[in-house]
Amino acid sequence: EPEVTQTPSHQVTQMGQEVILRCVPISNHLYFYWYRQILGQKVEFLVSFYNNEISEKSEIFDDQFSVERPDGSNFTLKIRSTKLEDSAMYFCASSATGNVLAKNIQYFGAGTRLSVL
Amino acid sequence: GEDVEQSLFLSVREGDSSVINCTYTDSSSTYLYWYKQEPGAGLQLLTYIFSNMDMKQDQRLTVLLNKKDKHLSLRIADTQTGDSAIYFCAESPASGGSYIPTFGRGTSLIVHP
């Protein structure tokens, strides 16, 4: 079964450093998403991406965050200057085009645990 | 804004039924979902229900929706140790063309022999 893959599974970084979290969505999917889950809290939406541009973003997704689809397979989340409060599990997801149901059914990766020290 | 609430823990004995409950606030919700997260894995979509349905059954899983009370439940029949995981309730809105789900905090299901 096709799946969304994320690398690395765990990233440790120093406060102020830049990190890039990588995702390979399911190959025929065209909608991509990033979510995060701070330990013990809810899964929170960060950003959605379609047709090479951001289609929706939350208040969390401020200027220190950016997303990119550098080639035909990868989808990345960059955090420019990490803060302690960026420590969380970051999930990538993708969904297909087509009808409303297809767009609503999102497939998630296993996540990258980001630890900012 | 939308909110989804669910209890944090549920402990059941193997072979019993588990019922995980969820409440939501958005009256315009179109899709309601149950996701499962096993240790070290991503969120796996278990099942979903349209807001115009009351019930959906899929093998050992039964989803009940009470739209009036904005209450969603997931019943797992004959719960097995392999069902131990975190179960997330989520809803996505009908309006504005947004497909972004709002998640609950997740219910940890612990199945003991």
Mind giving me the DSSP string for A58-87? -TT--TTEEEE--SSS-EEEEESS--GGG-
A42 closest CB neighbour out of B30, B40, B104 = B104
**pLDDT at residue A75 is higher than 70:** yes
* Chain A residue at shortest CA distance from B49: A101
Strand partners, B50: B31
What per-residue confidence (pLDDT) applies to B92?
86
The residue among A68, A73, A78, A112 whose CA lies nearest residue A92 is A112
pLDDT for res B51: 86
CB-CB contact of B91 with B71 (8 Å): no
Residue B54 has pLDDT above 70, yes or no: yes
Find out whether A104 and B99 touch, Cβ atoms under 8 Å.
yes
Q: Is the pLDDT of residue B37 over 70?
A: yes
Does the pLDDT of residue A59 top 90, yes or no?
yes
Q: How confident is the model at residue A26 (pLDDT cuts 50, 70, 90)?
A: very high
B95 has pLDDT over 60: no
Mutation pick from A29, A42, A95 vs chain B, by most beta carbons of B within 10 Å, is: A42
Stretch (H or E) spanning B44: strand B43-50
- A33/A20 Cα distance (integer angstroms): 15
Q: So what's the pLDDT on residue B26?
A: 79
For B40, nearest residue in chain A (alpha carbons): A110
Q: Which residues of A53-62 are buried (b: 16+ CB within 10 A; e: fewer)?
A: eebbbbeebe
pLDDT (0 to 100) of residue B98: 66
Confidence of residue B29 (pLDDT cuts 50, 70, 90): confident
pLDDT computed for residue B96 by the predictor: 59
**A41 neighbourhood in chain B, CB within 8 Å:** 105
d(CA A60, CA A76): 17
